[in-house]
Structure 1
């Protein structure tokens, strides 16, 4: 049975259970590439989950799976994409104003493969989140996910049969979350 580790990923950090590759023994603090609900992301291993001591108990299933130990190239690509995302933040702030969307941009990041940009915004998940995702899609600005953040941290995605966040095809911006 593969090991499960707790990993932290994202500019606005999230912690999740991740199935580790068999035969690989990462240690606390190891940089990993994990497949998340957003796509591949650089993550840090916080700890390897210990099996429950009580009979009949099992570890909760992993939410993601490890792709590999992060290479120097992965780390360099992550740094390059971080710089690109930061450079794009001013453009996104201007678009938010131009499109009259009631959101405050907190931060931006890309998935490790550069295929999706995540926009962290201060707001509840709602119509303005959807509006931003739709406007971005209409302007051909690539795949974005609008991730609301509140006082308690990330605002989780509503349960829908499609899954995914704003602009991802299964959440806000697609009608999948009811907005």
Structure 2
């Protein structure tokens, strides 16, 4: 197996991925993430575990399924076009639901199993309200991804059970 760094998502994230064969920089690949199938671009080979500056506990996060085909690239372009058309509809829904969120981007996974809404906000009650409104309206599988100035906001990996702040130092 070959470990590579791959950039994926409309609000770009970088992940360490495992590939069966060596891949060149800038190769378009299809990877399986926690959100579904996504298109990504290879940045470089990842440092082997135990190399100077590498975190030995860091394993691959996602698996590369294949090098992207012309069909994958066409589907991705169509998904981007669809997302651009739906952007104003989602902005209107957020306004109608009276949520204090700013929609900055949306994208479909490559397999179109999930829509990801990127909102400018910390993970908190407004994001939860949006998720509940989406579920109540029966709008399908939608993930609300808060984004700060530093990038996507993630949940703490350990400690605490919510966003009260008592688990932070």
Q: Same-fold call, TM > 0.5?
A: yes
Deviations 1:31-82 (A, max 9, x none): 000011111100000001232446xx84721010101000000000001011
Q: In the alignment, what sits opposite 1:156?
A: 154
Deviations 1:106-165 (A, max 9, x none): 0000110001000000011111101111111111111111111111111113448xxxxx
Aligned residues: 159
- Which stretches in structure 1 are left out of the alignment for 5+ residues? 161-175
Q: In the alignment, what sits opposite 1:6?
A: 5
TM-score, with normalisation over the residues of structure 1? 0.83
Among residues 31, 46, 49, which one is paired with 2:43 in the alignment? 46
Contact 2:124 2:163 in 1 (8 A): no
Among residues 70, 88, 91, which one is paired with 1:90 in the alignment? 88
Which protein has greater RCO, CA pairs closer than 8 Å, 6+ apart?
2
TM-score, with normalisation over the residues of structure 2? 0.88
- Which stretches in structure 2 are left out of the alignment for 5+ residues? 165-169
Q: In the alignment, what sits opposite 1:62?
A: 60
Q: In the alignment, what sits opposite 1:28?
A: 25
Contact 2:32 2:38 in 1 (8 A): yes
Distance 1:70 1:29 in 2: 11
Moved over 4 A (4+): 176-179
